[in-house]
Every structure is written in C-alpha cells, then in structure tokens.
Structure 1
C-alpha cells in the first residue's frame, strides 16, 4: 500500500480556505496596527543565511563565537527576502526594517507543515480529524507567532515532524518512494535545527516498537530467514541514512572545510574537548563541514553553560546558583516547560489533548499503538524530557517541535463523530470557538500570548519572560507610545550596565533631564524589570514595591511614579 494524499474537491477547497485564513493571520499581524519590529535574534539568523549562501559559515564561526550555530535552512530567509523585493519593487518603499520580508520564508514553511498535519491526521483518523488538527495548528498563537519571524524554531518543528511522518509511512506502507522520502527528510532535518539529531534515538525506539512482535516471534520460533531479513533491511536503511545525511549536510554547507581532522577544531564544550583527548580520534578526518561540527559543539556548550541565553526565569524565580568552586552558574528549572505549556498553550487545546489521552485509554484494546500513536507520543515525550534538562530555558519555542504531534494526536477525539452524543459534539464545537476567541484576543501580539490562567495580562511577567513575552518585537509600539506621551520615561540598562533614558523618543543623560515637566509614567521592558538581561538588583525597588498600571503590547510595562521616584532615577534627589 502506498501513501495517498488524494481527497475530494470539496475537502481540497476547505483546506485552501483554512490555509488562506492562517496566512492572513500571519501576514496581517505583522503589519497592523504597526509593523512588528525585528526581534533580538532575527538579524543574526538572517546574516547566518547570507553566510550559508556565500559558503563561509565556518569562517564566520571562527571570527564570531555567536555565529557558531549557523544552519543551512537559514539561507531561505535572505533568498525569499531578495525575491520579494525583486518581484515587488514597491516593497522597498514601505518604510520597513531591512530583512523584514525574510520572515515570509518561515510563513511558507509553516504552511507546508500545516498541510502535513492535515494529511497525517486524515490518514490516521479520517478527514474530520484532519480538519480538527489543522484548526488546532492554525489557531495556535505560538505557531502563528513563530511562523512570522526569522529563526530556526519553526523550521526545526516542520522538518522533524515531516521526517517522522515519512518514517512512519515507510514502516507502515513500504515502497521505494517512502524509502527515499524517509531518508531525504531525515537529512534535511539535520540542516534545519540541531535538535533534529535526536531523531536517531527516536527512530531506533519507533523501529523496534513497530517490529517488536515480529522480532520476538522470530526469535521464539528460531525463524532464521526472518531474522536475517530484518537485519539486512536495517543495515541497508542505516547505511543509506548515514551516507545520504552526510551528503545533504555537505551540500548545505557547500562542502566548506569538510574532512578537517578532529584535533584541528577549537571546541568550546567539555564533551567535544573530551573527544579530542582520545588518540584514535584526534587525527580522524571528519567527513562533514566544519560549521556543522562547530554548531553541534556550540549547542552542547550552551546546554552545559547556558551561554548566550538570558537567565532562566520561572514564577518569580531566577535560575542560578552560586557554586563554591565555579561561582555564579546558570541553572534551569526541571518543571520549566511543563509550566510554560500550562500557561502558553490555549486551554481549549490542552482540553483536546487530554480528551485524546482519555480516548486512547478507553480504546486501548482496539489500538495498534506501535503502528500509529507511538509515532506521535514517543517524539513528544522524548523531546519534552530532553529539553527539560537543557540549561537554555528562554521560551516555549524550544519545544515547538512537539506541537504538530500533539495536534494530530488530539484530533483522534472526532474519529467516531456520527456516533457521539450530542453533548459531546457541542463540547468540541464550543471548545473550538473558545480557541478562536482566545487567539484573536491577543491579535497581533502572538509571541506574548498567555492563556486565561493569567487573569491580569499585565502581570504575565510574574510567570515567564524572555521570548515568551519580551523578545524586542514591539519596539515600534514603544516609539509610538513615547511620541504620544511626553510625560512618559523609558528606562533600560545596556550590556555595560549603563543607564539609558528615553523621553519622546530622544535619548537623554540623567544629568540633562529637567523636572520642570513632570515625569509620572515609567516604561520598562519585562526582561529588564525581572533582570534576566541585566543585574536583577537594578529594578528590585520597582518590582518589589509596585505593580504596573498598564502594558504596552504586553512586553513593555507601564508604572505610575512620583516626582520623588523620578528624582531618584535622575540622580537629582
């Protein structure tokens, strides 16, 4: 049996309409009411894509440690950006930030992922389930938020999900087409996001689970031909996977410094440095580009130390310890992503997922778990656990890859729709509308979305910050607000712990501020208030004694201050 994508014209029409709604949400939320500014990371990822196109990723990594995480998929951003500007010259006169249209590359990939979410759910549970999974995808604020920015997170989610889908198709249906696509998509995933390397243990677990009955029966009956056939097929697949992946990675990096000996690398992580101590490995020529190995090393280094990330923060606590030997050390929270999921994923979606697990339990005797549901649950659980032990805990985006699997899994709840009781069907419809309302209530600020467990939205910073809330994406809203409110002061500390003040969009030194025109509103970034990007003591006086009276695009907090507070800030007391 072969994988089939065909469905009726009516269903194809519905699919197109839903995808157009999704694209509209992505694009409109980028432009209205104000253009969303590039966040702190987008410029880096765009420049990484440029280096890939030049074939100089490893050289850039040598010169700048922050560019040791360059992935070939990032090349899509400058390619799409330049294509749009060439096809639509008017785009150059829209007064948008440079690189802005590179975001459309992510939107394109997200649409492709949405299609695969529909296809897999439809194959498993029927066409109605396919549309439910698709709706969960297109209305998820986290998906929309990360579908419109220049980063690797959505690329990673798409490539991992599609790779697992084709691995399932290969095991389930066989065929040369699925064999090729399984091998190809695994390789492509490796040049989209470093976390795709965890597909190796996932494939092993899923493969053994899928064939466990056949393997056990063959061993018990001593059926040597079957055992030999399984071993031969496995060896062929593994070798083809390894060789194809090496080739895809080399092509992605233009073969730059492929074959470099291990001893010639300047590794950062303890784990990779340890590899260089073994004589048998030191002189080994690695048949992959230097930039890819640098990226793996850098990823491990970040995991070990949290380097390059803001300090983890959860429920009012900063993640660090003071070690007697090593001194200050970043330390993550084991429950970080559990809490992030609880607060950042729409409540309706969470209910759908729980209903899916209830359905799984009730129908457990009729299931072929290792042939179907395991391919959704195993990647979800494994990635969730692995990310929970990661030191770099700066946003729910780090577990974005589990979302498509959960959407497909949750869609199983409508498998027997015609036979369901009226009350149950009404519940599903009501939850779907609740999801829509919750989504639109945050339009267009999807990055900063929190569900209704946060009753007072200006207090979201007490739960999570960083790229969950404040990623520098709302600078245009800040400028507009300061222009309209001359009595407002924007305050922040830069990387050198130097105090910066902005009044009416003009930077001023504290000594130059006149108190003749009273300043009674203080605007501050959520990240700065908490202290994940600066000394947490700077604004302790503010967060410990006052609460914001309002928010600006959720990521900026507005406090009412007295003339004495202003004098203290300006050093005029």
Structure 2
C-alpha cells in the first residue's frame, strides 16, 4: 500500500481540491491565519503542514484573492515547485493512512482473532479507493480514520476505562478535520454509554475532550483566534454549538454548498441535482468484487454471531452513509470513504465461518487492485469494465479529478507536429507542464483541427457545442483512464 500510494503521489499532478488545502495549510503555517478554507476545520491542514514545514514556500504576504486563486498563486505563480509542495503535503497523509491500516488490523483482531485481523488489513491495504484518496492532500481519509479509531477505542473501553479519553481524542480529531463527521457524534456517544459504567460522567468527559480538541486545533493556528465572518453566509441554527466562531461559520459555508444545485453523472446519464442512491451505486462500481462479497457476508455474520460488536462497526457506517446520501453533491465515493474502512473490519468476521473462502476472496481483491496499478483514482471493478471504462459510468473524483495533467504533457510529445485543443477539468495549469493548447469552445468549429484533448468529466457534462466536436472526431489515445485524445481532421 505504501508503494502504491507513494507512486501515485509522485506521478499525479494536483487534483481539484488539493491546491486549496495546500495553500491554506501554507497560510496557517506562515501567517497563523484561519481566513482561507473556513468550511473545513484546520487539523487536516495542520497535518499537511508537517510536511510543508520542510519547504521554503514563497508566499506574497499581501495576496488578497479567494482560496481558489490562492491555490494557483502558491503552486504556480510564486516560484515554488508545485510537484515538491504537493508531495510534501501528501506524505503526512500517506503515513496517516498507513497508521489507520494498523487500527483496522487491531480492531478486527480484537473481534475475530489474528486471521480476521489479517483479512481486514488485506482488504484495507488493497482498497483502490483508500490507496487513491490516502495518497492525496485531502481530508476525507483522515476524518474517516479518526472516527474509526474512536470507535475502536470505545470497543476497548468496555473492559478498560482508560480507552475512553483516547476515544474522545480521536473523535475530536475527526471533528477538527471535517465537519461531516458531526453526523456520527450521537452514535458514538450512545456507544460510549454502552461501553462504560459511569455513563453520565463519562459522556460529559468524552464530550468535553472532543470539543477541547477542536478548540486546540484552531488555537494552534492562531492563539488569538482572530476571525472575520465572511459575507453573505446562509442562516443556520449553529450558534448553540460549543465550537469556535470560525467553525460555526464554516458550517454555514457548508450549508451554502448544500443549498446549491450540483450536476451528477451516473451510468451514462448527466443530471442536475442529486439522487439518493448515487453513493451505493458508485460504491458498487468502485469496489472490488471480492470486497463486496466479503462486506455483505461480514455484515451477516456480525448481526448473527457477533451481536455485541455489530453496533460498533455497523451503526456508525449506516448513519454516516445515510447522511452522505442525503447530501446535494454527487461527486464521488470519497464522501463515503469510511465504508471500506469500517466494512473491512466487518468482513473479518467471515473467517469465523468460512476461513478458506474468505482468504480466496481477499486474494481476488489483491489481484484486482494490483492490476489497476498505478491508476487507482479511476478504478472500477471487472463487472463494470475496469479502470478504462469507469468514465462511462461515473465522473469527477471517481475517475477524473484533474490528476493526469503531467502524464498528458508526456503523452503529447508523441504528437509533436499537431495543433492541440484542450478542455481540461482540474486545478493544474497546462502551460506549467509545457502544454501549448487552446480552448476549442472559443473558436468556430471548422477551425478546430488536430488533436482534441478532453477530460473525461468534461465529456460526461459536455454541452452541445463540445458534443458536436467530439462526434466529428476520432478517439486515438487516452491518458491515465481520465483524459481522452481525439483527432479532428
């Protein structure tokens, strides 16, 4: 898993969200300011900053743009090396993802023994989604991993109360990384009550510690907690929450995102808005077949044979998935990245009834994952055609998140004498990688001749003008299973 994540971290150029997180981490590190990316708490970006601290980052102290412009400024306009900055920000996330693998191992071992722990670890380590997102400077994997750690500590607190404060610390870390983890708080408090004798006192203790971790994460950035509320935030009843003002304003920003209408793409159909079944359908495409079977069997065994453990593994998963399914953004399984973590633990239970069968299914997962190397972001299982066909079923962070701009630059060297037209969906700057291309949508169609290069997410959401250009072109190549190269005579 480490080899796969480091390889992808080195080869992939910025995904859409990474420049915002990386540049916000730089501002936190150098200017001790919370003003950028307030919709996400600071802990995840502080973790990225542990890598960025080794870079001599150039940043204009008078920069006054928004966070998207800041990302472009830090990576491409300030004389920094974007590849080096990204790698330094990604490496702490890779280390953290590997550590969460050890949590999966020990949690499953506590429930089912050594064999179950190894099966769970295998499913985790070979999970294409965890490899893909664990190698990026983003927040989904850290938030889910901290929640899993908290649940594991609560399971151990049943026999030793010393684990309760550790569960609270992990819960606080999740809340201080990403706000969608708030949905799990009631479930974890109920589990805490089930795990301890002095329920009221321990629940109060757990709540206070978790809230304190959130406050500390903000104070670590700015001990004076200087903050100016952004304009035009939507109304939301969050003032009663015991969190810092920037946290509550960040929640308002998130509510604003949820009030917007986003575009989705599922099984070849582009649509406006969201569909409640999007995430289960996307997980069906993006999960190795062996893992799907083991997940389902593991849930059955937990419910029938490990009933005491079932609420700890399944209740947080169900609540978080229900919350994610109710969201307005059908943009990728990263919104449900906790599923392969928690259900890897659930799958370990299958060794109690069918050990050889379980090992064989885990082996199929490993083979499917290895065959996808190093293209894990666009992974889909064999039933849906593998990584090369994912773009026919899904879009955005499921397949094409702007990660292959560097690979495209290398591929275009095979076509040195042809004019290039580019429709790129991502945060990278094509010119930085030596790509000299124009937007075909800005000129009359009869002028578009030569190579037509289109991100697959742009194909999925193409307007009539771009669709007409694609219809009259011939596909001749693809890059990273996320960008298609056409030739237009």
TM range (shorter): 0.7 to 0.9
Q: Look up the match of 1:173.
A: 159
Q: Look up the match of 1:30.
A: 9
Equivalent position to 1:537, from 464, 470, 473: 464
Provide the rounded CA distance (Å) in 2 between the counterparts of 1:468 and 1:168.
Answer: 33
Matched position secondary structure for 2:188:
helix
Q: Look up the match of 1:354.
A: 296
What TM-score results when the alignment is normalised by the length of structure 1?
A: 0.72
Equivalent position to 1:433, from 359, 363, 373: 363
Provide the rounded CA distance (Å) in 2 between the counterparts of 1:260 and 1:509.
Answer: 40
Alpha carbons of structure 1 residues 519 and 413: separation in structure 2 relative to 1, 3 Å: same
Q: Look up the match of 1:341.
A: 283
Is 1:241 the counterpart of 2:196 in the alignment?
A: no
Is 1:138 the counterpart of 2:80 in the alignment?
A: no
Q: Which string of whole-angstrom CA distances, capped at 9 and with x for unpartnered residues, describes residues 57-80 of structure 1?
A: 44x24xxxx553342221111222
Provide the rounded CA distance (Å) in 1 between the counterparts of 2:213 and 2:38.
Answer: 21
Alpha carbons of structure 1 residues 519 and 377: separation in structure 2 relative to 1, 3 Å: same
**Residue 258 of structure 1, CA deviation:** 5.6
Equivalent position to 1:121, from 82, 101, 108: 108
**Residue 265 of structure 1, CA deviation:** 7.4
Segment of structure 1 superposing worse, 240-249 or 401-410? 240-249
Alpha carbons of structure 1 residues 501 and 520: separation in structure 2 relative to 1, 3 Å: farther
**Residue 559 of structure 1, CA deviation:** 2.7
**Residue 157 of structure 1, CA deviation:** 1.3
Equivalent position to 2:380, from 450, 453, 457: 450
Q: Which string of whole-angstrom CA distances, capped at 9 and with x for unpartnered residues, describes residues 392-426 of structure 1?
A: 22110010012211001001111256xx6xxxx2x
Provide the rounded CA distance (Å) in 1 between the counterparts of 2:224 and 2:464.
Answer: 46
Matched position secondary structure for 2:366:
helix
Q: Look up the match of 1:183.
A: 168
Q: Look up the match of 2:253.
A: 298
Is 1:155 the counterpart of 2:134 in the alignment?
A: no
**Residue 42 of structure 1, CA deviation:** 1.0
Q: Look up the match of 1:201.
A: 186
Is 1:411 the counterpart of 2:397 in the alignment?
A: no
Q: Which string of whole-angstrom CA distances, capped at 9 and with x for unpartnered residues, describes residues 292-317 of structure 1?
A: 112222222222325xxx62222223
Alpha carbons of structure 1 residues 388 and 414: separation in structure 2 relative to 1, 3 Å: same
Alpha carbons of structure 1 residues 436 and 51: separation in structure 2 relative to 1, 3 Å: same
Q: Look up the match of 1:566.
A: none
**Residue 122 of structure 1, CA deviation:** 0.4
Provide the rounded CA distance (Å) in 1 between the counterparts of 2:282 and 2:470.
Answer: 22
Provide the rounded CA distance (Å) in 2 between the counterparts of 1:260 and 1:94.
Answer: 30
List gaps (5 residues or longer) in structure 2: 58-78
Provide the rounded CA distance (Å) in 2 between the counterparts of 1:434 and 1:511.
Answer: 44
What TM-score results when the alignment is normalised by the length of structure 2?
A: 0.84
Alpha carbons of structure 1 residues 358 and 506: separation in structure 2 relative to 1, 3 Å: same
Provide the rounded CA distance (Å) in 1 between the counterparts of 2:258 and 2:43.
Answer: 21
**Residue 27 of structure 1, CA deviation:** 1.4
Superposition pairs of residues 170-319 of structure 1, within 5 angstroms: 170=157, 172-175=158-161, 177-207=162-192, 210=194, 233-254=198-219, 266=231, 268-272=233-237, 288-305=243-260, 311-319=263-271
Structure showing greater radius of gyration is 1
RMSD: 3.7
Q: Which has the higher contact order (CA 8 A, sep 6+)?
A: 2
Provide the rounded CA distance (Å) in 2 between the counterparts of 1:193 and 1:384.
Answer: 15
Alpha carbons of structure 1 residues 518 and 538: separation in structure 2 relative to 1, 3 Å: closer
Matched position secondary structure for 1:253:
helix
Matched position secondary structure for 1:349:
helix
Aligned residues: 462
Q: Look up the match of 1:226.
A: none
Q: Which string of whole-angstrom CA distances, capped at 9 and with x for unpartnered residues, describes residues 422-459 of structure 1?
A: xxx2x434323322221122211111111112227544
Provide the rounded CA distance (Å) in 2 between the counterparts of 1:122 and 1:145.
Answer: 25
Segment of structure 1 superposing worse, 77-86 or 133-142? 77-86
